[in-house]
Structure 1
Amino acid sequence: MKNIFKSNSIFKISFLILVLGLASCEDKVLNLESLDQPNTSAFFNNADEAEVALTGAYRSLFLMGGDGMPQKFYEEVTLTDNGYYRFSGGDRNAGQIEQISLGTNEANDDVNPYYSPLYRGLGRANFVIDNMEANQDLIEADRYGNLLGQALVLRAYYHSMLVQYFGDITYIDKFIIDPADGFISRSPRAEVVDKILAELDRAAGLLNASPREHNRITKAVALGLKARVALYEGQHNSSMFAVAAQAAKDAMDASAGIYGLSSNYYNMFQEAGEKGIVGGAVREVMLTMPFEPDFRSHQIALRTAFRGQFRGFFQCHPSQNLVDAYPTINGLTIDEDPAYDPTTPWENRDPRLKATILTPGDSRYGVVYESHLDSLNTFDVNGERIANRQCPSFNRILGGMGYAWKKYSDEPLITDGITDTFVDYHLMRYAEILLIRAEAEIESGGDLQAAANALQQLRDRAYIGSGVPAPVVQVASQAEMRRLLRIERRIELALEGFRLVDLNRWQATEKVRNEPLKGRVLDLPSAGVATVPVIDNDGVTIYTGNTDPDLFYDGSFGVRVASFGSNQAIDSNGNPINDPNLHEYIRVDGTTGDGNWQNIFWTNFLNRGFTAPRDYLLPIPLKEINLFNQSGVTLEQNPGY
């Protein structure tokens, strides 16, 4: 049940803050006798009380970012090539995220979406672990190991997230009572990873195979996290790929009868099917950020849903770069499949394209979606002609990239006018374990057939209901298998917060951030070979060298269209245009065109930047460095900041 997170307990690294936070717990759990001395004797008298504290440690999984969205979602649509985000004026995260995107971020930025929240999570986990170990004789033996194992995995999870973003980190494996004890210098990344892996081994030996209730950590989750951590470390130490392969295999074995692949990819990201039920008690979702009414919501649907017809803001859009990365129905990339037709680019593609992204001509929210600049009108599902308020010529800020998200944007809620969303945001799925197994086998030079089998399972699931057999994944060279894997990770895990970390560990972020984001192809009848980009060995869509006029407007809409912030379209002479069948536009070079849209292929929405190698890690917050310095301890900054 989602309500395991319904706890007002707030555990902080500073003991004083922790004590004040715990004052909101149930009186039977903790009676405070002093505000300046720890009073753990009233806690953890039994397993139920330990579980209350453990729920507090789970709360730090709720890593929320800008505009009320999960941080990993926000990260993917602002810092990678998968999407574009039109920042809202009131978003205090926007300035720093934009600076990171441009490669101009500095350590003195006052917003850091990762550092402090993750260390708060460590404080909560350490509080549970220390007190459980101190009160082991008071906790029922049949529950002690499982509860402790969960806390150990949470501590490993928060440490691993810090390593992903900051490299060397301050490793903390005890609850800090005296704040002075928290000024600990950074430990080398490799040492921290070794400790994380050892901790996950210990946890796996303690945990139950099946969760007591939904979204509790199990043995398979611990092994899955071990596989993920080892895979990520492989970029620094290639021997870790073999560790990752074995851990993924162990996680798959531990998942038998508990976790597996759901038959419906789309439904897992809508509230009705968010647990990914396979059958009986078997489900695909292994760990998640749970949301539900009257408890906690997010605003993914609000930021992705149509504006005008509905209450959405329509400020978050998939990129053409991502759309072009989806293979054809034949399992080939669009640059290598001779059957691919660029004049009908959204047809005959991997079914996950339309499960993830709303493409022009398809219906959602009771409306046929059209994003062409000429499409001033569209139709509702009853065939009635209506004004197309998503047309960028109606209001230029609404056009986005010509696509909309379906994944995590719950259609029934938006249709009913509810903009708070309660779809769980997934942190680990069984599909990821298969991808880890495949990549680790490929990179270690191990069992390539096992890698192909893992990828085949994902394809087989994706093609269920398509009426087309899934293309067979053939064992090929290591380089060919690596390319296939990287494309598969991109499309299977789109919007789930893996893209930035993947690009970083593949050393591909610099390439991506110097490759402009693209919007939809505007002139489909004239589209030809020149509009087909290259999908490179990292699964990155490369447009360089194509006949791309590279038209853009303020980094937010691709063509300088004739509606500069108003709902009235005007022609090149500034005169109103009232005929929806004749819509002139102005190119950036000043020339005009008509509704045929000749020679316009992509729109360039946001040029991004990257300073290598600096930007492969985030800066340690300057205020943290200054605080350490004031205490006589040196906290080194990451190189280049």
Structure 2
Amino acid sequence: MKKYTIYIFGLLLLSACAELDVNPLSEGSSENWYSNETEVTMALNDLYREVFWFTDDDSWTDDWTSRGATTPITNATVNGEWGTVSTLWTNSYKAIARANTVLQNLDRIAGVVPQETIDRFEGEARFIRASMYANLVNHFGDVVYYQDILELEDAFSKSRTEKESVLQGIYEDFDIAIAQLPVSYGGSELQRATKGAALALKARTALYQSDWQIAADAAKACMDLGIYELYPDYGALFLANNKNSAESIFAIPRSVELDVALGSNYPVRATITRNAGGWSAYNPSWDLFCAYLCTDGLPIDESPLFDPHDPFANRDPRLAETIVPFGAEHLGFIYQPHPDTLQVLNLNAGKYQTNNDSRGTIQWASWNGLVWRKGVDEDWSDDRLTDPEKKIVRYADVLLMYAEASIELGNIDQSVLDAINAVRARAYGLDPTAADAYPAVTTTDQTELRKLVRLERRTELALEDRRYMDIIRWELADKVLNNDIYGMLDVAELREKVVAKDLWFFPEVPPVDEDGVADFTPMYEKGLIKLLADRAFDESRQYLWPIPTKEILINSNMRQNPGY
């Protein structure tokens, strides 16, 4: 396992009176700091900590289920006191304040440090500031915007700036970062901001805001750097032992040795199967499971290749790399959730044992029969600690961003098809030119391509925290998050109504609509599946998040978003 040099110093996560972190004490006093290259480097290193790089959670989407549980997003109870709202707001402004402080003090090292190094420092600080503001705008819309060092009284009185003005500042910061950051750092293990990272995150910001031309241009410029490529093995790409691949454009490193890891009870133990010592409480949804196409490129309700009783067969290979197939080896066991499979092979011991992943044995086994495979290997289960890098953006995402933005612009040419097919062919382990060996995309119809690229994003980027912002910006959240969560019947009924009638796993083929959304209500109305939870999404307000309540209370100039 590689060790990453991570500079962590001072007091972490210091609270500021107005939550805008007007004095970043973890960097030392700004009156005597920033006097040499080492001090500026340390200040910037602090901003690469994972706590500052907020990502959305797949549990807020239709790709996820956790038994009968929902979240504030999926049960429509989001308010300004939700901890996640405060965390995003607080940590983003801490990073912004610290980036501003670096930028305001770079003149101190002029003449002492080479100008090329100072320019890089400026590029890094601007990249970080732009990334933080982009996350705020994506979730809150209009936000407090400033580029200097706030005095205390200003922190209590700043009002929100219109989103469009903030976006211009974000794009300007990214452009300066693009101009001043290096293409690479010569193989350094500590991932820092690069020209490609700035281009990729500028593209993502523009994509999320429907600034299609900006998104297409930035994504294409990232592609044209010629230094990124798709990793040949989709499944291995996400394992902890595969860091710094040529597909990774920007990532935050983790290290078990340095106590920067995924661990404890969540999410690791909740994701691991029960046979391997976990809880199997966090699971892929049936909604996601049914979104994967068959190998003929058709959805499951149209393809003659789909068998609801052998639902992993003849499917996009990414399905089996994301969700554990029935009968497959996983974490040292054969995974089989069938209610009558009461014994299972322990591959490490070479003998059969009680199958704790079957609800016929343990009622708390996966309630819908599915468990996550993507990125999960024995490194998760040996000590409940794992340290895959936190992928902020990778090359496949850039290819799909370029394709989507170009499609929305109506600029549909071979480069668009090539971008989508490169991602799809990799899933099959093929060169994109082998068009007869995988379901290559050939249509140039804008409506069809829009549907295909959205589906490609869902299946390629599953469990990578991208689905939430996709359903928000596509305005699908009110549709998919008002669909309920379904799973298997309880064991006695499952055996009687499904297994005894040879209807395992899916009793029927669920219809799938033009957005790739499966409808399970026919099976539910026939009593063949169980309602696990009611999802709810309030479209009148939830497309934006509320400003944290404490910000409203301490600042009379801070207005709340509608509906909160």
| Contact map agreement 1:14 1:176 (CA 8 A) in 2 | no
| Contact map agreement 2:358 2:365 (CA 8 A) in 1 | yes
- Partner of residue 459 from structure 2, selected from 478, 483, 491: 491
Q: Secondary structure in 1 aligned to 2:93?
A: helix
Is 1:410 matched up with 2:377?
A: yes
Residues 449-483 of structure 1: CA deviation (Å, up to 9, x unaligned):
32211010001111117999222211231110011
Residues 220-243 of structure 1: CA deviation (Å, up to 9, x unaligned):
111111111111111xxxxx2122
CA drift of 1:374 comes to 2.5
- Find the counterpart in structure 2 of residue 471 from structure 1: 439
- Find the counterpart in structure 1 of residue 137 from structure 2: 163
- Find the counterpart in structure 2 of residue 6 from structure 1: 7
Is 1:55 matched up with 2:28?
A: no
Determine the C-alpha separation between the residues in 1 that align with 2:184 and 2:553: 45
Determine the C-alpha separation between the residues in 1 that align with 2:390 and 2:327: 28
- Counterpart amino acid of 2:305? A
- Find the counterpart in structure 2 of residue 563 from structure 1: none
Return closer, same or farther for 1:513/1:140 CA change in 2, 3 Å cut-off.
Answer: same
- Partner of residue 228 from structure 2, selected from 231, 250, 259: 259
- Counterpart amino acid of 2:319? L
Return closer, same or farther for 1:86/1:221 CA change in 2, 3 Å cut-off.
Answer: same
- Counterpart amino acid of 2:534? N
Is 1:100 matched up with 2:42?
A: no
| Contact map agreement 1:335 1:534 (CA 8 A) in 2 | yes
Return closer, same or farther for 1:182/1:407 CA change in 2, 3 Å cut-off.
Answer: farther
Determine the C-alpha separation between the residues in 2 that align with 1:268 and 1:6: 26
- Partner of residue 409 from structure 2, selected from 429, 435, 444: 444
Is 1:636 matched up with 2:559?
A: yes
Greater RCO (Cα-Cα under 8 Å, separation 6 or more): 2
Structure 1 range deviating more: 478-487 or 337-346? 337-346
How do 1:141-290 and structure 2 match up within 5 A? 141-178=115-152, 180-181=154-155, 183-212=157-186, 213-214=188-189, 215-234=191-210, 240-254=211-225, 256=226, 258-276=227-245, 283-290=246-253
- Partner of residue 501 from structure 1, selected from 462, 469, 478: 469
Aligned length: 539
| Contact map agreement 2:34 2:108 (CA 8 A) in 1 | no
| Contact map agreement 1:410 1:421 (CA 8 A) in 2 | no
How do 1:488-567 and structure 2 match up within 5 A? 488-519=456-487, 523=498, 525-526=502-503, 531-544=508-521, 546-549=522-525
Q: Secondary structure in 2 aligned to 1:273?
A: coil
| Contact map agreement 2:95 2:132 (CA 8 A) in 1 | yes
| Contact map agreement 1:410 1:423 (CA 8 A) in 2 | no
Return closer, same or farther for 1:451/1:550 CA change in 2, 3 Å cut-off.
Answer: farther
Return closer, same or farther for 1:174/1:603 CA change in 2, 3 Å cut-off.
Answer: farther
Return closer, same or farther for 1:19/1:511 CA change in 2, 3 Å cut-off.
Answer: closer
| Contact map agreement 2:22 2:149 (CA 8 A) in 1 | no
Is 1:391 matched up with 2:358?
A: yes
Determine the C-alpha separation between the residues in 2 that align with 1:54 and 1:180: 25
Determine the C-alpha separation between the residues in 2 that align with 1:188 and 1:396: 51
- Find the counterpart in structure 1 of residue 530 from structure 2: 603
Determine the C-alpha separation between the residues in 1 that align with 2:185 and 2:417: 30
Determine the C-alpha separation between the residues in 2 that align with 1:270 and 1:491: 18
- Find the counterpart in structure 1 of residue 279 from structure 2: 313
- Find the counterpart in structure 1 of residue 343 from structure 2: 377
- Find the counterpart in structure 2 of residue 566 from structure 1: none
CA drift of 1:530 comes to 7.3
| Contact map agreement 2:215 2:402 (CA 8 A) in 1 | yes
Return closer, same or farther for 1:396/1:511 CA change in 2, 3 Å cut-off.
Answer: same
Determine the C-alpha separation between the residues in 2 that align with 1:48 and 1:133: 15
- Counterpart amino acid of 2:26? G
Q: Unaligned regions of 5+ residues in structure 2, if any? A: none
CA drift of 1:335 comes to 1.9
Return closer, same or farther for 1:197/1:317 CA change in 2, 3 Å cut-off.
Answer: same
| Contact map agreement 2:412 2:444 (CA 8 A) in 1 | no
| Structure number with larger C-alpha Rg | 1
Determine the C-alpha separation between the residues in 2 that align with 1:373 and 1:162: 46
Determine the C-alpha separation between the residues in 2 that align with 1:132 and 1:550: 68
Return closer, same or farther for 1:126/1:410 CA change in 2, 3 Å cut-off.
Answer: farther
Q: Secondary structure in 1 aligned to 2:485?
A: coil
Q: Percent identity?
A: 31
CA drift of 1:332 comes to 1.8
Is 1:431 matched up with 2:359?
A: no
Determine the C-alpha separation between the residues in 2 that align with 1:537 and 1:2: 46
Q: Unaligned regions of 5+ residues in structure 1, if any? A: 24-37, 65-70, 88-93, 235-239, 277-282, 552-599
Determine the C-alpha separation between the residues in 2 that align with 1:310 and 1:530: 29
Q: Secondary structure in 2 aligned to 1:160?
A: helix
Determine the C-alpha separation between the residues in 2 that align with 1:85 and 1:163: 29
Return closer, same or farther for 1:346/1:110 CA change in 2, 3 Å cut-off.
Answer: closer
CA drift of 1:150 comes to 1.3
Q: Secondary structure in 1 aligned to 2:199?
A: helix
- Partner of residue 21 from structure 1, selected from 26, 49, 73: 26
- Moved runs in structure 1, 4+ residues, more than 6 A? 465-468, 527-530
| Contact map agreement 1:44 1:138 (CA 8 A) in 2 | no
- Find the counterpart in structure 1 of residue 290 from structure 2: 324
CA drift of 1:13 comes to 7.9
Residues 16-66 of structure 1: CA deviation (Å, up to 9, x unaligned):
98464345xxxxxxxxxxxxxx543x32233232111100122255557xx
Residues 146-189 of structure 1: CA deviation (Å, up to 9, x unaligned):
22111111111010001111111111222335353463111111
TM-score (structure 2 length as normaliser): 0.89
